[in-house]
A and B are shown apart, each in its own frame.
Chain A
Amino acid sequence: MKSVLIIEDRKSRQENMLGKKKCQILRELEGVTVSARPEEVIEQLNAGNQDVLANFSLIIIHRSSIKQTGLNTLYEFGAKNNSSLVLFSGAINSVSYIKDKFELLQLSSLELYSLRLINFLENYLDNNSEHLIEIAYGEKWRLNFLLQYRQLLFFKNQKEDLLREDLERNNVTKIDLMIVCENVLGNKYSNDTTQAMKDVDKEIKTIMAQL
Chain B
Amino acid sequence: MKNWLVIHNDNIPNALLKEFKEKQNILKFDITPALQMNENFSFDNEATEILESHFLNEKTYDCIFIPYNLNKELYLDFSGLKIALHIRLSHRLSHTFCPIVFYGNEDPLHVAKLSPHSNILFSIGTLTSNKISYEDFNLTSNHLKEMAFEDYANFLKELNLNPSVNYKSHHSVANEFALFQWSTFIGCDDQIDEVKVNLKTRLYFKYLEALRLFDTDVGWTFGIDQRDPGFPNISIDGKINEGKDKDGKEKYQLAKVLLIDDEAKKGWESFYDNLFKLNPDENSRVDFDSLRLVNLERKEVECKTFLDRMPIIEQAQKKVKEFDPDIVLLDLRLHDDDFKQGVSPDDLTGIQILRRIEKINRGIQVIITSASNKIWNYEASEKTGLGVDGYIIKSDDENPEESVKKICKKVNDLIPKAVFLKAVEEKMASIKQLFPEKESEDYIKNNSFYISSLTNLDVAFKLFNDSKINKKYNAFGFLQLFMILEDFVKREDICWDYSKKFVVKNGNTEVIVVKRDDKRSYIKTENIMRGDLRFKNIYTIGEATFDHWIDTNIRVSSVLIFRNGLPNADQYKWPELRNLRNDIAHGNDEIKSEYILYILNFLLFVLNNDNLKETNIDKGFKKKSESDKLNDLQNKFKKH
Contact = CB atoms under 8 A, between A and B. Distances in A.
Interface stretch (A26-34, A49-57, A60-68, A187-195): A60-68
Contact of A140 (B44, B114, B170, B302): B114
A81 interface: no
Interface in B99-114: 104-107, 110, 113-114
B74 A151 contact: no
A158 B178 CA distance: 50
A82 interface: no
A68 B41 CA distance: 11
A123 interface: no
A95 B74 contact: yes
Given A95-B77, A147-B75, A110 B166 contact: yes
A108 to B, nearest CB: 4
A90 B10 contact: no
Given A10-B305, A98-B73, A143-B76, A16 B337 contact: yes
Given A106-B41, A154-B105, A94 B73 contact: no
B42 A165 contact: no
Interface string B62-85: 000000010111111100001000
B202 interface: yes
A119 interface: no
Interface in B125-183: 164-171
A108 B74 contact: no
Given A12-B337, A204-B110, A91 B166 contact: yes
A104 B11 CA distance: 22
B14 interface: yes
Contacts of A90: 166, 169-171
Contact of A97 (B73, B164, B305): B73
Interface string A21-53: 000000000000000000100000000000000
Given A66-B39, A144-B75, A171-B30, A11 B307 contact: yes
Contacts of B104: 151
Given A39-B295, A147-B106, A158-B13, A63 B164 contact: no
B73 A99 contact: yes
Given A11-B307, A12-B307, A171-B10, A108 B164 contact: yes
Interface in B1-25: 10-11, 13-15
Contact of A96 (B74, B171, B340): B74
Contact of A71 (B39, B77, B82): B39
B36 interface: yes
A12 B336 contact: yes
Contacts of B114: 140, 143, 211
A104 B75 contact: no
Interface string A135-174: 0010010011101101100110010100001000101101
A165 B14 contact: yes
B377 interface: no
Nearest to A68: B39
A110 B170 CA distance: 9
B339 interface: yes
A167 B336 CA distance: 49
Contacts of B76: 133, 137, 140, 143-144, 147
Contacts of A68: 38-39
Contacts of A94: 42-44, 77, 82, 164
Contacts of A106: 36, 41
Nearest to B335: A12
B37 interface: yes
A96 B11 CA distance: 18
Given A109-B169, A137-B76, A104 B37 contact: yes
B72 A177 contact: yes
A130 to B, nearest CB: 15
Given A10-B304, A11-B307, A91-B198, A98 B33 contact: yes
Given A17-B169, A140-B76, A96 B41 contact: yes
A17 B166 CA distance: 12
Nearest to B337: A12
B75 A148 contact: yes
Given A100-B33, A148-B75, A211 B44 contact: no
A120 B75 CA distance: 20
A26 B308 CA distance: 21
A127 B30 CA distance: 33
A77 interface: no
Contact of B14 (A65, A67, A160, A172): A160
Nearest to A148: B75
Nearest to A137: B76
A93 B165 contact: yes
A17 B168 CA distance: 11
B530 to A, nearest CB: 73
Interface in A75-94: 75, 90-94
A162 to B, nearest CB: 9
Residue among B43, B75, B304 with the most chain A CB within 10 A? B75
Contact of B43 (A13, A96, A151, A154): A96
B36 A96 contact: yes
Nearest to B46: A96
Contacts of B37: 71, 75, 98, 104
Interface string B307-350: 11000000000000000000000000001110110000000000
Contacts of B72: 148, 172, 177
B307 A108 contact: no
B75 A108 contact: no
A90 B11 CA distance: 31
Contacts of A63: 39
A1 interface: no
Nearest to B164: A93
Given A75-B37, A147-B106, A155 B13 contact: yes
Given A106-B36, A110-B166, A171-B30, A93 B336 contact: no
Indicate the member of A11, A63, A94 with the most B CB atoms within 10 Å: A94
A158 B131 CA distance: 13
Contact of B168 (A110, A137, A140, A150): A110
A65 B304 CA distance: 11
Nearest to B266: A91
Interface of A: 9-13, 16-17, 39, 63, 65-68, 71, 75, 90-100, 104, 106, 108-111, 133, 137, 140, 143-145, 147-148, 150-151, 154-155, 158, 160, 165, 169, 171-172, 174, 177, 204, 208, 211
11 contacts: A10-B305, A11-B307, A12-B304, A90-B171, A93-B166, A96-B41, A97-B74, A140-B114, A151-B11, A158-B14, A171-B30
Interface of B: 10-11, 13-15, 30-31, 33, 36-39, 41-44, 69, 71-77, 82, 104-107, 110, 113-114, 164-171, 198, 202, 204, 295, 302, 304-305, 307-308, 335-337, 339-340
What are the 8 tightest A-B residue pairs by CB atom distance, in nearest-first order? A12-B336, A93-B164, A108-B166, A147-B75, A97-B74, A68-B39, A148-B75, A110-B169
